[in-house]
């Protein structure tokens, strides 16, 4: 990788894939993070071919609490510097809060909140040291509104993510 680099979690579909395409069009080399190797490799090949960028595939399940440390260690070992971080990975939980076992809620919180906190914490120091960098936390309008039946935890997590992002922005101002 030789150009500016962006890391996109959940880069194999949806909003994450849209970010990856936009960043590739702007000339960013990419690190795509998701669980599905075959899908990631297919996207990486297409983006490399279409935009003449380098695209690294990192197959990680962010529901695993050790995944972020392993990801950042692998990038550090290879000298990969991330200039733009897109924290996008996530999934939804259907049904009322008590309809899901705690383990599923725990995984949801790990992917949509704790992985975001940790990845931001691990990559932000390098951005500050270099004097440049961008972090985008993909959230939802649900973080600003009272939850609806069947979406109890989703809105709460997005509200926490929104507040974290606003506070971090103030802390990093300038």
Q: Which helix (H) or strand (E) holds 144?
A: none
Examine the residue annotation and report whether 97 is marked as an active-site residue of this protein.
Answer: no
Catalytic-role residue among 24, 47, 154, 157: 154
Collect all residues with Cβ–Cβ distance below 8 Å to 63 and sequence separation of at least 6: 107, 110, 111
* Tokens describing residue 100: 């899901």
Q: Tell me the catalytic residues.
A: 154
């Amino acid at each position: 990788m030789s150009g500016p680099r962006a890391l996109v979690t959940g880069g194999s579909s949806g909003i994450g894939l849209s970010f990856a395409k936009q960043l590739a069009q702007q000339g960013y080399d990419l690190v795509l993070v998701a669980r599905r190797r075959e899908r990631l490799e297919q996207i990486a090949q297409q983006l490399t071919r279409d935009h003449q960028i380098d695209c690294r595939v990192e197959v990680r399940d962010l529901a695993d609490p050790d995944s972020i440390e392993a990801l950042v260690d692998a990038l550090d070992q290879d000298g990969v510097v991330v200039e733009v971080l897109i924290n996008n990975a996530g999934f939804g939980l259907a049904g009322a809060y008590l309809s899901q076992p705690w383990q599923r809620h725990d995984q949801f919180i790990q992917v949509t909140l704790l992985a975001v906190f940790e990845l931001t914490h691990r990559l932000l120091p390098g951005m500050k040291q270099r004097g440049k960098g961008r972090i985008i936390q993909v959230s939802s309008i649900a973080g600003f509104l009272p939850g609806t039946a069947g979406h109890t935890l989703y809105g709460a997590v997005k509200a926490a993510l929104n507040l974290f992002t606003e506070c971090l922005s103030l802390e990093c101002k300038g």
